[in-house]
Amino acid sequence: MTRESMEYDVVIVGAGPAGLAAACRLRQLNEELSVCVVEKGSEVGAHILSGAVLEPTALNELFPDWKDRDAPLLTAVSGDEIHVLRNARNNIRVPGLFVPKTMRNEGNYIISLGNFCRWLSTQAENLGVEVFPGFAAAEVLYHDNGSVKGIAIGGMGIDARGEHKDSYTPGMELHAKYTLFAEGCRGHLGKELIAGFNLDAGKDPQHYGIGIKEIWKVPDEKHQPGLVVHTAGWPLDESGSAGGGFLYHLEDNQVSLGLIVDLSYSNPHVSPFDEFQRYKHHPVIRRHLEGGDRIAYGARAIVKGGLQSLPRMSFPGGLLIGDDAGTLNFAKIKGSHTAMKSGMIAAEVVAEALGAGRAGDELSEYATAYEASWAWRELHLQRNFGPAQHKWGNILGSAFAFIDINICNGKLPFTLRDPTPDHAQLKPAKDCKPIPYPKPDGVLSFDKLSSVFLSNTNHEEDQPCHLVLKDPELPIRHNLPLYDEPAQRYCPAGVYEVVENAQGEPVFQINAQNCVHCKTCDIKDPEQNIAWVAPEGGGGPNYPNM
Ligand SMILES: Cc1cc2nc3c(=O)[nH]c(=O)nc-3n(C[C@H](O)[C@H](O)[C@H](O)COP(=O)(O)OP(=O)(O)OC[C@H]3O[C@@H](n4cnc5c(N)ncnc54)[C@H](O)[C@@H]3O)c2cc1C
Ligand code: SF4
């Protein structure tokens, strides 16, 4: 069976804020254009995980009448608290005067980004965009001249050995005049394009964190709709790691909370999942959760390198937009509005090029348009925030950021660099302090398996493993003796285990069906030996409203 193909003016990979904003803007500008969006989740929003406090700047531009269109921005921020957790019991609340500008949320909304994307997808469909959930873009297609021709959706019904099952259906090719890649943080096709077109030449390596998140339903007397709490310090400072926590009260007695662990950590004993579980026991956090029930769990990597790590976003035949490129503002821990704006600018550039009869060439004018936008200015203002945190740690780094952003308005005459990739930061396990994580109590803290259960993750079991080891022996030969195989701990879904075979020898086991598509293994493996590739469309988590 050969692959069939369909032709579009524009194909967009990923129905997140970037992809959907681009799709809507394209049809707003020209309703003759044929535009389709493919999404690997079983439905739009199923793979979206965010905080999320939304800054509505880009939304105001895209749909100024969003209130009349019933956009799910139901909870306006009513107050901000920032706490430095000094240890497992004590904290200091940062006085309002010293709160960095970037952390003030007046005028913003606490939302479920998954529900917001479902709403954006409906707006896109009403504008005439074709949205295809359950379809994973598995391959980039190229013209003979090397420009991007479109993408191929992976075939269905291929067994674990690569043989066709009775249910086999070949993938479909989607060809386009321009293809926009909006896969979010560490997109696997984006990674191929960055390497293939050398888009990151002269840039710092990209930097990442992993965000582990839960949603709790809390009793009426605990619910403070609109409250935003951020924390720094404990528990990550115990292992010299960076990152911070968030806790937001949204509608329907829900509290969404999480811990973002900077993936530059050097102690291979660190387990981001277990850090988050003990984090919830701190009095500043537990007082919001006691008497409540955990109703959802998930994890997702977050991109944080900022301007110094932002690759060139154009290449012949397409653009990289949103977090696939890395447009997130980490000083605000917000990337939805900047991802949307990058998608809207892409739509404007693409519509103009198509109007001029162009196709398949490089839209180099995108760089100029993006640099003239408020989204670029935001990244420029906060450019030293991430590198300062890596250089001097959370507390001193934040003090520097306060001076740089609040007092000097981002105008200090220098730009800090951060040249070491996160995967190269690990030290040998024997040189680092083991971390005795407490056992979960089943009330505030839980184990990985019961957590993954709450993510409703599901993959067809008999399919090729979507976690590909370049060297299958390396985990046992190299990573186990040197780093006590850190994948056992950095994976938030228990996918990687070291077990014993019948001869008592260690074996690296991959439970791929548990994968929540966070992409951490692709980022943090010290030898870059693990490649995440798209499994059959529709597989992965089924987040209700993350
Ligand atoms: C823990 C955490 C907290 C955050 N908090 C906030 C916050 O409070 N406020 C804020 O503004 N931002 C926050 N962010 C960042 C924000 O979520 C992102 O910046 C934003 O979602 C980026 O949008 P995007 O469209 O680029 O990518 P995503 O939102 O990641 O969307 C990408 C979409 O593409 C799909 N996809 C990927 N690959 C393929 C493929 N090959 N084929 C088909 N589909 C594919 C994915 O399934 C997904 O639906 C947070 C992020 C995390 C992880
Ligand atoms: S296997 Fe990789 S992508 Fe999947 S959940 Fe684990 S770390 Fe994340």
Q: Identify the residue whose C-alpha is closest to ligand 1 atom 39.
A: 183
Q: Distances in Å between the alpha carbon of 546 and those of 69, 182, 196, 292?
A: 21, 18, 33, 18
Cα of 167 vs centre of ligand 1, distance in Å, is: 32
Q: For residues 242 and 275, what is the distance between their CA atoms, to the nearest angstrom? A: 12
Rounded average pLDDT over 30-50: 98
What is the C-alpha radius of gyration for the chain, rounded to an integer number of angstroms?
Answer: 22
Model confidence at 282, in pLDDT bands (50, 70, 90)?
Answer: very high
Partners of residue 499 on adjacent β-strands? 507
Q: In this predicted structure, what is the pLDDT of residue 179?
A: 98
* Contact 495 CB / ligand 2 (< 6 Å): yes
What percentage of residues in the chain have a pLDDT greater than 70? Answer: 100
Rounded average pLDDT over 212-222: 98
| Top mutation candidate among 458, 517, 529 for ligand 2, by most atoms within 8 Å of CB | 517
Model confidence at 513, in pLDDT bands (50, 70, 90)?
Answer: very high
Return the number of other C-beta atoms located less than 10 Å from residue 246's C-beta. Answer: 19
**Nearest ligand (C-alpha, residue 21):** 1
Return the number of other C-beta atoms located less than 10 Å from residue 497's C-beta. Answer: 14
Model confidence at 400, in pLDDT bands (50, 70, 90)?
Answer: confident
Q: In this predicted structure, what is the pLDDT of residue 196?
A: 98
Model confidence at 408, in pLDDT bands (50, 70, 90)?
Answer: confident
Q: In this predicted structure, what is the pLDDT of residue 520?
A: 98
Are the C-beta atoms of residues 266 and 425 closer than 8 Å to each other?
yes
Domain 4-67+114-203+311-381 is of which CATH architecture?
Answer: 3-Layer(bba) Sandwich (3.50)
Cα of 213 vs centre of ligand 2, distance in Å, is: 15
Model confidence at 474, in pLDDT bands (50, 70, 90)?
Answer: very high
* Average pLDDT over all residues of the chain: 96
The torsion angles phi and psi of 291, rounded to 5 degrees, stand at 90, -5
Q: For residues 8 and 23, what is the distance between their CA atoms, to the nearest angstrom? A: 12
What residues contact residue 156 under an 8 Å CB cut-off, 6+ apart?
167, 168, 169, 171, 536, 537
Q: Tell whether the model's pLDDT for residue 347 goes beyond 80.
A: yes
Cα of 324 vs centre of ligand 1, distance in Å, is: 9
Q: In this predicted structure, what is the pLDDT of residue 118?
A: 98
pLDDT tens-place string over residues 80-115: 999 999 999 999 999 988 888 888 999 999 999 999
Q: For residues 405 and 413, what is the distance between their CA atoms, to the nearest angstrom? A: 12
Partners of residue 334 on adjacent β-strands? 329
Cα of 418 vs centre of ligand 1, distance in Å, is: 23
Rounded average pLDDT over 225-230: 98
Q: Tell whether the model's pLDDT for residue 277 goes beyond 80.
A: yes
Partners of residue 6 on adjacent β-strands? 174
Q: CA angle 192-197-202, nearest 5°?
A: 105
Model confidence at 1, in pLDDT bands (50, 70, 90)?
Answer: low
Are the C-beta atoms of residues 256 and 48 closer than 8 Å to each other?
no
The CATH 3.50.50.60 portion of the chain extends over 4-67+114-203+311-381
* Contact 516 CB / ligand 2 (< 6 Å): yes
- Dihedral of CA 18/21/26/29: which sign? negative
Q: What is the 3-state secondary structure (H, E, C) of 224-270?
A: CCCEEEEEEECCHHHHCCCEEEEEEECCCCEEEEEEEEECCCCCCCC
Cα of 44 vs centre of ligand 1, distance in Å, is: 12
Q: Tell whether the model's pLDDT for residue 481 goes beyond 80.
A: yes
- Map tokens 């809390």 to a residue: 218
Q: Tell whether the model's pLDDT for residue 394 goes beyond 80.
A: no
Q: Name the DSSP letter for residue 384.
A: T
Tokens of 434: 């083991």
Q: Tell whether the model's pLDDT for residue 387 goes beyond 90.
A: no
Tokens of 250: 């949204």
Q: Identify the residue whose C-alpha is closest to ligand 1 atom 17.
A: 50
Q: Identify the residue whose C-alpha is closest to ligand 1 atom 37.
A: 183
Partners of residue 214 on adjacent β-strands? 257, 297
Q: Tell whether the model's pLDDT for residue 2 goes beyond 80.
A: no
Model confidence at 505, in pLDDT bands (50, 70, 90)?
Answer: very high
Q: Identify the residue whose C-alpha is closest to ligand 2 atom 7.
A: 491
**If we measure between CA atoms, which residue out of 233, 214, 346 comes closest to residue 284?**
233
**If we measure between CA atoms, which residue out of 28, 17, 120 comes closest to residue 72?**
120
Q: Among 94-103, 134-143, 217-226, 290-299, whose mean pLDDT is lowest?
A: 94-103
Name the residue with higher pLDDT: 459 or 399.
Answer: 459
CA 194 to chain centre: 17
Cα of 69 vs centre of ligand 1, distance in Å, is: 23
Q: In this predicted structure, what is the pLDDT of residue 77?
A: 98
Model confidence at 393, in pLDDT bands (50, 70, 90)?
Answer: confident
Tokens of 76: 């306006």
pLDDT tens-place string over residues 443-472: 999 999 999 999 999 998 899 999 999 999
| Top mutation candidate among 59, 113, 378 for ligand 1, by most atoms within 8 Å of CB | 113
| Number of residues in the chain | 546
Name the pairing type of β-strands 35-39 and 496-500.
Answer: unpaired
Q: In this predicted structure, what is the pLDDT of residue 35?
A: 98
* Contact 518 CB / ligand 2 (< 6 Å): yes
